[in-house]
Structure 1
Amino acid sequence: MCRNEKFVIVITLILTQTNALNVALENKYENINRLETVELNSSMDNVENIMNRADNAFDAFNNNDTLKKSGTEECVGDAEFCNMTREDYIEMLNEYIYPQTYEWILIGTHTAVFVMGLVGNALVCVAVYRNHTMRTVTNYFIVNLAVADFMVILFCLPPTVLWDVTETWFLGKALCKILLYFQSVSVTVSVLTLTFISVDRWYAICFPLKFKSTTRRAKIAILVIWANSLLFNSPELVVLTTVKSVPLRFELEYLVQCMATWSSQSDLVWHIIKVVFIYTIPLMLMTVAYYQIVRVLWKSEKIPGQAETIKLAPAEQISSFTAQLRSRRKAAKMLVAVVIMFAVCYFPVHLLSVLRYTVDMEQNDAITFLALVSHVLCYANSAINPLIYNFMSGKFRREFRRSFCCSASPIRENFTTLTHLTTSKTKRPCDLVTFECRTPAHYKSVCSSSLVGNGYRNNCLR
């Protein structure tokens, strides 16, 4: 076979294979197109099915009276709720928020705290107002503390109890901001007032010659306390709002919470700041101050700064200095008791506030109960201070008794107290005698006394 014939055969084979390959490719493309057409038709069928289902759902919505009343297109949650009417749903929620047995106990406790707090703190203010001799620097601060506690009891306790028991804030967005803000302000005022009292007493007792405490300075300090408290808690006015914690079947005002809108991390930082600056640091300052005060008053038989005066004074003046020292010790005991009660009552609520964001605590009945008890302790602190004054201060006790029992009787004026009085005839010491005249303060009275045994009989003459 010649070379030309071989070449023709090779070319013929190549052309044959090329034609076969082209035919195969054409068949493949046809199959692909056929598959794409089938898939496209299937997708179109799915779209049509989805549209038909949506139309059917819309028709069902229009034909369902229960869904029309709900105002929602889809019922979320238990299927049992989807078949409930609005009235049945509200009844179910009312049963859910109805107080349990332990909550009724807490409601009764809050009621007792409410009455005691209002009456007690009001009596503190009335006592200092009526008795001019009680208008001291310390008592000005005590009145400021009573005003802050009165505000907490009156404006914050009732809505907080309602909120804790029903798990719902019913008072709206505006009162959510205002009431919780002023609750924080009042607590801050109480803390700063206790701190100022401790610092004032520390200077007055430990450094009497370096600092003179006056009522004018006390009034300025009270203004500073309120200004700082209003400014420090101002972020809460911005971030507090009402939020629905649980999606409900109908548009209802149940299970609404008053809470901050910032992130959980920001809320944690804010609570830590409050724990540090409104609890820990003031408590440390008060502890150091009262430690110094107690050390000076109980380890010395004289008032600091008056040693030379006592040495040169007659016996009557020495007795007066001793009485003054005893009075300061009583006042220090009373103030230390107030600080201890503050530390104990506010510790649980601060601890829970931090643990809520740092520890994964499951919300159960035990945690809810602890939260309610911590709130009770906070409000109890605002009501217990007047009881401390009553038990540990004779002046407050007399004014409280007069306000309760003798408000209609003439004012009793205490003129003087005689101690270890000796007569020229008997040379026997007489008992402690207090001259009291039942006359108004603006009348002039002359008290005459006659010795009867070891005591005195008073006669008041106008």
Structure 2
Amino acid sequence: MDAAEALVFASVLAVIVVSLLSNALVLICFAYSPEIRKQAPGLLNANLTLCNLLLTVANMPLTLGALASRAQPGGDALCRAAGFLETLLSTNAMLSMAALSIDRWLAVVFPLRYHSKMRRRDAALVLGYTWAHSLGFSAAAGGLSWLGYHRLYAACTLGAPPRGRAQFAVFSVLFHSFTFLLSFVVLCVAYLKVLKVARFHCRRIDVITMQTLVLLVDIHPSVRQRCLEERRRRRQRATRKISTFIGTFMLCFAPYVITRIVELFPAVPISPHWGALSKCLAYSKAACDPFVYSLLRHQYRKTCGDIADRLLKRRRSSNESGPGPQGRGAALPGAQ
């Protein structure tokens, strides 16, 4: 194993560890908090987290084994099943991110009618479509025997057959157009509309703030400076969040998808190191999503704090009620 392969191996291993811990924590928060469970975004987040967790458990270890042994991990049947899961779960995860962007758009653009437009039933219908969409492409690829071990990516995934490359090329273009490209367009349209509304509200707040500062002539300069700094932070906060949603999606998925499209042209050489690295980048989205969509939000941070407090109180109470010297003496009859 050379230096580049060792770097990719270590990266995949780190992604597995972070993804397991972070996605498991999101599911624990979902199971613990009734407030998260009763909201439509909580259901969408749980579906995205479940897809990422299953992808981490079922597919990433096989890629890790392939990188270590430089050979196909397991038999053909196992690799075909893993390729089916990889196609199903990655497609579902992309569509879930698009659904979350639509949810944010409805919440920001239609705040008064949001709860009537996006209920748990509506979220369940959206998730039903994402699973049907993902299952359709995965079943088509499996039925046409286009799933198996791909040496370029060191993974069990879609692969071009020796015959019928033209059909596989058409399928690949349609598949990536209706998964990656569709999700990217929905993300951009929804979040740019959210950013437009957020900037409009920021301008209104800025006008009120400046009018207040003008009226308060005797205000202390430090207070005035803090108000101006808060105005700048408010302007940057929305842009930073939108950039994170769209930027992580493109950074993680775009290199892999572009490589899959370039691979359709046999005359273009692709380095195996780059193929494995692009696959690692696609896997890394499973480790980023819990922080981008869940754990950095106030509701999830509060739930994590409540869980930690409950565990600490339970441990403290068990220690205090344990059999200490005084406790044993007090428990014995006639000890006095």
For the pair shown, which has the larger CA radius of gyration, 1 or 2?
A: 1
Q: Quote the offset at 1:209 in angstroms.
A: 5.6
User: For residue 220 of structure 2, what is the aligned residue in structure 1?
Assistant: none
Matches within 5 A, 1:6-155: 99-135=1-37, 136-155=39-58
Q: Quote the offset at 1:402 in angstroms.
A: 4.8
SS of the residue corresponding to residue 299 of structure 1 reads helix
Q: Quote the offset at 1:374 in angstroms.
A: 0.5
Q: Is the 8 A contact 1:293 1:332 kept in 2?
A: no
SS of the residue corresponding to residue 360 of structure 1 reads coil
C-alpha distance in 1 between matches for 2:133 and 2:150: 33
User: For residue 285 of structure 1, what is the aligned residue in structure 2?
Assistant: 186
Q: Is the 8 A contact 1:334 1:389 kept in 2?
A: no
Letter in 2 for 1:295: K
C-alpha distance in 2 between matches for 1:103 and 1:195: 33
Q: Quote the offset at 1:203 in angstroms.
A: 2.6
Aligned residues: 276
Q: Is the 8 A contact 2:26 2:290 kept in 1?
A: yes
Q: Quote the offset at 1:397 in angstroms.
A: 2.3
Residues 244 and 113 of structure 1: CA distance in aligned 2, closer, same or farther (over 3 Å): closer
SS of the residue corresponding to residue 311 of structure 2 reads coil
Q: TM-score under structure 2 normalisation?
A: 0.72
User: For residue 387 of structure 1, what is the aligned residue in structure 2?
Assistant: 291
User: For residue 346 of structure 1, what is the aligned residue in structure 2?
Assistant: 253
- Quote the sequence identity (%): 20
Which has more strand, going by share of residues? 1
Letter in 2 for 1:240: W
Quick check: 185-194 or 382-391, which moved more? 382-391
User: For residue 223 of structure 1, what is the aligned residue in structure 2?
Assistant: 128
Letter in 1 for 2:256: V
Quick check: 235-244 or 177-186, which moved more? 235-244
C-alpha distance in 2 between matches for 1:149 and 1:345: 14
Q: Quote the offset at 1:409 in angstroms.
A: 3.4
Matches within 5 A, 1:194-273: 194-208=97-111, 212-238=117-143, 239-240=145-146, 259-261=159-161, 262-273=163-174
Q: CA RMSD in A?
A: 3.2
Q: Is the 8 A contact 1:149 1:382 kept in 2?
A: yes
Q: Quote the offset at 1:215 in angstroms.
A: 1.5
Q: Is the 8 A contact 2:22 2:290 kept in 1?
A: yes
User: For residue 174 of structure 1, what is the aligned residue in structure 2?
Assistant: 77
C-alpha distance in 1 between matches for 2:54 and 2:158: 20
C-alpha distance in 2 between matches for 1:397 and 1:358: 47
Q: Is the 8 A contact 1:200 1:213 kept in 2?
A: yes
Letter in 2 for 1:132: P
Residues 399 and 331 of structure 1: CA distance in aligned 2, closer, same or farther (over 3 Å): farther
Q: Quote the offset at 1:340 in angstroms.
A: 2.3
Letter in 1 for 2:246: V
Q: Quote the offset at 1:123 in angstroms.
A: 0.6
Alignment pair present for 1:397 and 2:298: no
User: For residue 322 of structure 2, what is the aligned residue in structure 1?
Assistant: none
Q: Quote the offset at 1:298 in angstroms.
A: 2.4
SS of the residue corresponding to residue 88 of structure 2 reads helix
Q: Is the 8 A contact 1:240 1:258 kept in 2?
A: yes
1:356 counterpart (240, 263, 267): 263
C-alpha distance in 1 between matches for 2:128 and 2:137: 14
Q: Quote the offset at 1:216 in angstroms.
A: 2.0
User: For residue 295 of structure 1, what is the aligned residue in structure 2?
Assistant: 196
Q: TM-score under structure 1 normalisation?
A: 0.54
Q: Is the 8 A contact 2:5 2:67 kept in 1?
A: no
Unmatched segments (≥5 aa) in structure 1: 1-98, 246-255, 304-325, 412-462
C-alpha distance in 2 between matches for 1:220 and 1:345: 27
C-alpha distance in 1 between matches for 2:184 and 2:9: 30
C-alpha distance in 2 between matches for 1:277 and 1:182: 18
C-alpha distance in 1 between matches for 2:261 and 2:125: 34
SS of the residue corresponding to residue 168 of structure 1 reads coil
Unmatched segments (≥5 aa) in structure 2: 205-232, 315-336
C-alpha distance in 2 between matches for 1:228 and 1:244: 24
Letter in 1 for 2:101: S
Which has more helix, going by share of residues? 2
